[in-house]
Structure 1
Amino acid sequence: MAAPPPNPINKPRNPKKHSLKDLKTLGHQLLSSRTHINNLPLLLTYISPNFPPQHVLESLLSLHSFFSPILPDLPSSSRSSTHNKDNGEPDADVIYKTWLRSKFDEFVKSLVDVAVSPKAEDALKEVVLDTLMEFVKTGNGGRFNSAIYHRFLVNIVQSTESLDFVLELLASKYFKYIDIRYFTYINIEKFAKNLELKDISDGKTESGDKVGESDSRESLELSIYKIHYIISNIPPLEDPKQNSDYELWGGSGFSVKKGESKGPSQHLKTEDKDLKSEKHDNDVLSAGNYAKKMKLKFTKAWISFLRLPLPIDVYKEVLSNLHQAVIPHLSNPIMLCDFLTRSYDIGGVVSVMALSSLFILMTKHGLEYPNFYEKLYVLLLPSIFMAKHRAKFFQLLDSCLKSPLLPAYLAAAFAKKLSRLALVVPPSGALVIIALIHNLLRRHPSINCLVHQEDCNDTTDNNSEAEGGDNENEFGASTNIAARKAGIDHFDNEESNPLKSHALGSSLWEIDSLRHHYCPPVSRFVQSLENDLTVRAKTTEVNVEDFSSGSYATIFGEEIRRRVKQVPVAFYKAIPTSLFSETDFSGWSFKEEEESKGKKSENGILNSSGDKDGCCTKRQRVEC
């Protein structure tokens, strides 16, 4: 008959501080015999960021070696004690195992506290993280212990510290395992829903304590930053059609059951009820079924996260990566339509960044957005040509205007708006505008009338002048001047609605003015519009991508590399005698010229009286 287990104590004595050698001895005694079980609470007291890292590490190694082999035999909760009584086990053994389970829970809690503490060193945090993940791996009978992992993530998200080092370690070392990704998505969905409810409750119960509200807002934003880092650093899901070998952190894989579909339980409640009658099958889920489950968890996690009040920098980063990292892996991308339309309606840089994802939903997933082109027209401002994401915006703008079903008034409005912007944007922006207008004129022959369109008022004046024949009077000169006066541009540049801008009644006179642009590449590129773009067989579209990311540096670099056939000379064949020639100021003379001529006359060079009279005559004209 086995000897009864020793009576454990719940609280250690208050001994003096132990040295590192003493802790090592206590650990060896604990591992050697059950008679030294009371060393367990004493070692647990040293798992704290308040002790030196060497003491924490020594206690951690001893406790990890003690709990690892006995962890599968420990009960999962206090309710298992009554179940074990029915099986005929002695009460003393049940009490002993229950006590060990409580100490293991305390050990896990202490490890989490060390991992999220700002006092702990980075090297110690790495060891603590590895120990926690080992318990996640083996703490549920060789299967993934979602409860420990849930507790760890909860403390990370709710901590008031940034914890960049711990998050980087978690992402770099463990996010490659497919089961860790799966349970991470489940936990993120829970965190996001809880934060959303908290934000709603805080908004309803607004108080006069501004300090408390600011602290709550800062805490919420810090949690959102951490959730965004976690969800954005999870590797993308592989193609389910490919036979990918998924690497699991849990030993025998997992299958989604009723208990797991509800997410990880709280307070370290494991799934022993499911395990007691199960066979430990080593069959990993097939690629198709597994990818289907992962895609659902991925979608729920991202949709829940996007409902949170995201800070502006997180908002922009999410929008910039949404079309590449999120939309291709969603089970139903149309679920993002509300988020993207709200972002597109905000205006400014946020609308520009939301355009990529919204364009994908419209072209590939059948999203209908009636005011899309009106919102796109409003985004055409001079500031867009200095924006960070202008290259992608211009490429999408060119793609959005590619459809042959685009109405003529809409194509004309965009062409006219862009040509007006060409007068105020940098040279790199003018090159992009010329490329866009070139493609518009080629794709939509109905707006080629904008290339040269005379005003109707000029035609009326010319007709009335022709009917008058030779009956010219003293006001004939003024009548001709009025007839030659430039017409009025009917285009309304301040109108936000393309239909009301009256672009079809105008002309692209702004593009003609670019012929005399101070930047040579711009003036040369305008000549491409002189071709008959209605003949599509002889012309090709311009690749906007070649000009979309241009700047002063790129223009200068291209000019330096450009070979010119005829180099402009920088010298005169004859040495100039003055800054301006005499023909520029006919009939006028200058004081310096008169003094030089007077000196020459004194030396006998000019003695004729006629020359003197002429000099006096010029001097009189200057003085008048």
Structure 2
Amino acid sequence: MPGLLTNGAAAGKRKRTDDVARTNGLKARKAPKVATNGDSTQATILQLEEQILESRKHYNNIVELQSLVNSVETKPKTATLAAVALCRVFCRLVASDELVKRNGASEADDQVVQWLKARLRAFVEVLSTSWIGSTDATQESTALTLIMRIVKEETSQGSKRSDQAWRTERSTFNTLVTALLEKPEAEGARQEFVEKFVEEHDDVRFYMFGAIRQHMKSLADEDEEDDIVTGHAIELLSQVEGVPGSQEELEDWYGEPPAEKKHQLLSLNAHRKAAQEAWLTVFRSPLNRDHRKAILNIATTRILPWFATRIELLTDFLTDSFNAGGSLSLLALSSIFHLMTQRNLDYPDFYTKLYSLLDGDIMHSKHRSRFFRLLDTFMSSTHLPAAMVASYIKRLARLSLEAPPGAIVWVVPWVYNMLKKHPACTFMLHRAYHPAHAIYSINPDFAEQGMPNDTFSMSEPDPSHTGAIDSSLWELHTLESHYHPNVATLAKILSEQFTKRDYQLEDFLDHSYATLVDAELGKIEMKKTPVVEWEIPKRIVTEEGNGLNRMGSLLQAAMISL
């Protein structure tokens, strides 16, 4: 216990000085530093690493470090320290050409090279199979960083050796891509790989396309196609946003920069071809609905920019997706329309296929709003034939008779806008009598019997031959008596003068029973109080006096008959 120094005024702790130690016949010395278990382990790992780099005779330390890496389940911190040390070791060995066979080397030296290559493959295999896809996000991120650090060293050893390091099937880079494709729990690693490496470096993106194509092709050749691998390939490819627009943009390299002016990494066409081959390999694999939906959702933004050529191959995929039916048909038509308007694709059956989607189900579908938006876009041209436009108007009017109010409140303004764009179709609103006209010739007694025969054919698949242009929009006139007051009021706009320029259709989308009811209940004041005729009867089966009333007599007769 330290003594107290008292000077009469104050007291304080006194330190043992060297002079005091000498007077006691003792030498001054520092207290020994007690190393904790963590510090001891780190020092051991650093010592093993230094010994490996000092002399070949310590190469067996690599095996000891690998055993520590394999203990990641029980000792994660120790395994991480050992993995980082091994990464530094292999990077220095690669940089010093210790993993390359030399001309004239002895057989023993060749065996050492082969042994080092095997150790490197084993290290990368552990990181890619055990660490990638781990529930520990930090561990997964560490593995990805270490593997890509080795890739950088391997691909910076001259053009020929770098190209082999990118392309060889058992290379570090291909091993990583394979793990990203096969590991179901590696969503974070796939996203980080794309964000940090693929999007930042042109060579990583180029060779990733090749690795994906190569891996999926090998699975197809062996009849081992897997939905999981296909889904992960779509996930990786769909996250690539940086599409180079010119060869001057190809300038960011992760490995050895291309030395030759005609190198494929400097060719924009080569990059596009690599992306096309990767996507086409995905298209040729067995795709389920979820896969197709994921592809179609990004077709115009992430896939089409790569297909400057060979658009017909992409069109075949879109046509097959349309034939799958449902929401896939709508998504496929959206991409085809983009090709028609942006790439001058000749697709004469587009409006016939779009017309086939107009059925009763679409009016009740949860994708109705999206369909209406796209329909308005597809029909926005003023150069469409009037006969075809009339078919769309008439078919939607017919479907509105059995549609929910939320759909009708969009159809009516849309018809209004279409009639403004195509005046030739306005005759469908007010068809003046003419004995030679088709609708009157097939209904000669229309004044007495009405018009039971309509020239419009709902079963005709071709919108150019439905006969709608010779019909009338009696369906919309019928909607003026709709049970919902909003629908009835809206339908009357077609009976008035067309003084409004057009309607903003976005204001009428996303309506449902709930929104329409809420709008009515949200009204604070009523212009007119509704009349309620309801009176609670005093008696149900008897009269005021004695005996049964009419209801009671009927009930009595029914009971007697039983």
Shorter-normalised TM range: 0.7 to 0.9
Aligned equivalent of 1:446: 424
Give me the whole-angstrom Cα distance separating, in 1, the residues matched to 2:258 and 2:67.
35
Select 1:517's aligned residue among 470, 473, 482. 482
The verdict on how the C-alpha distance between 1:237 and 1:563 changes in structure 2, with shifts beyond 3 A counting, is farther
Q: Distance in 2 between matches of 1:461 and 1:113?
A: 82
Is 1:551 aligned to residue 528 of structure 2? Answer: no
Distance 1:104 1:320, change over 3 A: closer
Secondary structure, in 3 states, of the residue corresponding to 2:298? helix
Larger mean CA deviation between 127-136 and 334-343 belongs to: 334-343
- 1:531 to partner: Cα distance: 3.9
Matched, 1:456 2:440: yes
Whether 1:181 and 2:181 are equivalent positions in the alignment is: no
- State the Cα distance separating 1:249 from its structure 2 match: 3.4
Instruction: Report what 1:41 is aligned to.
Output: 63
Alpha-carbon contact 2:45-2:81 (below 8 Å) kept: no
Relative distance call for 1:320 and 1:550 in structure 2 (3 A) is farther
Structure 2: which amino acid aligns with 1:221?
A: D
1:361 alignment partner, one of 323, 335, 339:
339
1:155 corresponds to: 179
1:249 maps to which of 251, 254, 257: 254
TM superposition shift of 1:296: 3.5
1:308-358 C-alpha deviation (Å, 9 max, x unpaired): 221211111211221222223432244411111222233322111111111
Aligned-pair identity in percent equals: 25
Pick closer, same or farther for the CA change 1:106–1:24 going to 2, 3 Å: farther
Q: 5 Å matches for 1:119-198?
A: 121-141=136-156, 145-146=165-166, 147-159=171-183, 161-179=184-202, 180-198=204-222
- Do 2:443 and 2:451's aligned partners in 1 also have CA atoms closer than 8 Å? no
Aligned match for 2:527, one of 564, 567, 571: 567
Partner in structure 1 of residue 243 of structure 2: 237
Q: Which residue of 2 aligns with 1:436?
A: 414
Q: Aligned pair in 2 of structure 1 residues 23, 110: CA closer, same or farther (>3 Å)?
A: farther
CA–CA distance in structure 1, aligned partners of residues 385 and 278 of structure 2: 41
Q: Which amino acid aligns with 1:456?
A: Y
Which deviates further from its counterpart, 425-434 or 378-387? 378-387
In structure 2, how many angstroms separate the alpha carbons of the residues matched to 1:111 and 1:103?
13
Consecutive unaligned residues in structure 2, runs of 5 or more: 1-36, 434-438, 547-562
The yes-or-no answer on 1:541 pairing with 2:515 is: no
Secondary structure, aligned partner of 1:45: helix
In structure 2, the residue matched to 1:72 is: 95
Deviation at 1:113, TM superposition (A): 2.8
Q: 2:130 — aligned with what?
A: 114
Mapped contact 1:71–1:139 kept (Cα < 8 A): yes
Structure-2 change in CA distance of 1:184 and 1:550 (3 Å): farther
Give the 3 Å change call, closer, same or farther, for CA 247–523 of structure 1 in structure 2.
farther
Alpha-carbon spacing, 1:39–1:484, altered in 2? closer, same or farther (3 Å): closer
Equivalent-residue separation in structure 1 for 2:514 and 2:258 (angstroms): 56
Shift in Å at residue 542 of structure 1?
A: 2.8
Deviations 1:255-274 (A, max 9, x none): 6889x85xxxxxxxxxxxxx
- After TM superposition, the score normalised by the length of structure 2 is 0.75
1:322 corresponds to which of 299, 305, 312:
299
Q: Which residue of 1 aligns with 2:6?
A: none
Contact 2:243 2:305 in 1 (8 A): no
Within the candidate set 499, 502, 505, 2:467 is matched to: 502
- Residue 311, structure 1, aligned to residue 288, structure 2: yes
Partner of 1:59: 82
What is the rounded CA distance, in whole Å, between the counterparts of 2:281 and 2:233 in structure 1? 11
Would you say the 8 A contact 1:431–1:547 is kept in 2? yes
Long gaps (5+) in structure 1: 1-17, 203-215, 262-284, 463-481, 581-589, 600-624
Separation in structure 2 between the aligned mates of residue 577 and residue 227 of structure 1, nearest angstrom:
67
**Equivalent residue, structure 1, for 2:329:** 351
Shift of 1:300: 2.8
> 1:526, CA displacement in angstroms?
1.7
Aligned pairs for 1:573-588 within 5 A: none
CA distance in 2, matches of 1:495, 1:441: 22
Question: TM-score, normalised to structure 1's length?
Answer: 0.68
Q: Which moved more, 1:136-145 or 1:389-398?
A: 136-145
1:91 Cα deviation (Å)? 6.6
Aligned residues: 489
Counterpart CA distance in 2 for 1:49 and 1:411 is 70
State whether residues 87 and 146 of structure 2, in contact with CA within 8 Å, keep that contact through their aligned partners in structure 1: yes
**Residue 61 of structure 1 aligns to which amino acid in structure 2?**
V
Contact 2:181 2:229 in 1 (8 A): yes
**CA distance in structure 2 between the partners assigned to 1:233 and 1:487 by the alignment:** 57
User: CA separation in 1, counterparts of 2:124 and 2:348?
Assistant: 55
- Please give the secondary structure, in 2, of the residue aligned with 1:496: coil
The match for 2:50 among 31, 56, 59 is 31
Residue-by-residue CA offset, 1:386-420 (whole Å, 9 max, x unaligned): 43443332233223333444333322221111001
Identify the residue that residue 212 of structure 1 maps to in structure 2: none
The one-letter code matched in structure 1 to 2:207 is F
Q: Which residue of 2 aligns with 1:414?
A: 392
Alpha carbons of structure 1 residues 315 and 347: separation in structure 2 relative to 1, 3 Å = same
Once the two structures are TM-superposed, the CA of residue 367 in structure 1 deviates from its matched residue by 1.8
- Aligned-partner residue type, residue 38 of structure 1: N
3-state SS of 2:286 partner:
coil
Structure 1 partner of 2:560: none
Partners of 2:539 and 2:175 lie apart in 1 by: 94
Instruction: Quickly say closer, same or farther: Cα 1:334–1:75, change in 2 above 3 A.
Output: farther
Higher relative contact order (CA 8 A, sep 6+): 1
- Going from structure 1 to structure 2, the CA distance change for 1:228 and 1:44 (only over 3 Å counts) comes to same
Shift of residue 117, structure 1, vs aligned partner: 6.5
1:319 and 1:49, CA in 2 relative to 1: closer, same or farther beyond 3 A?
Answer: farther
1:465 equivalent in structure 2: none
Aligned match of 1:340: 318
Corresponding residue SS for 2:417: helix
- Name the aligned partner's letter for residue 189 of structure 1: R
Check if 1:104 corresponds to 2:120.
yes
- 1:381 equivalent in alignment to 2:365: no
CA distance in 2, matches of 1:548, 1:486: 33
Q: 1:504 to 1:30 in 2, by over 3 A?
A: closer
Structure 2 CA distance for aligned equivalents of residues 196 and 222 of structure 1:
14
The equivalent residue for 2:31 is none
**Matches of 1:459 and 1:225, distance apart in 2:** 59
Q: Deviations over 1:201-230 (max 9, x none)?
A: x4xxxxxxxxxxxxx56xx10110110111
CA distance in structure 2 between the partners assigned to 1:19 and 1:592 by the alignment: 91
Structure 1 counterpart of 2:271, from 272, 289, 294: 294
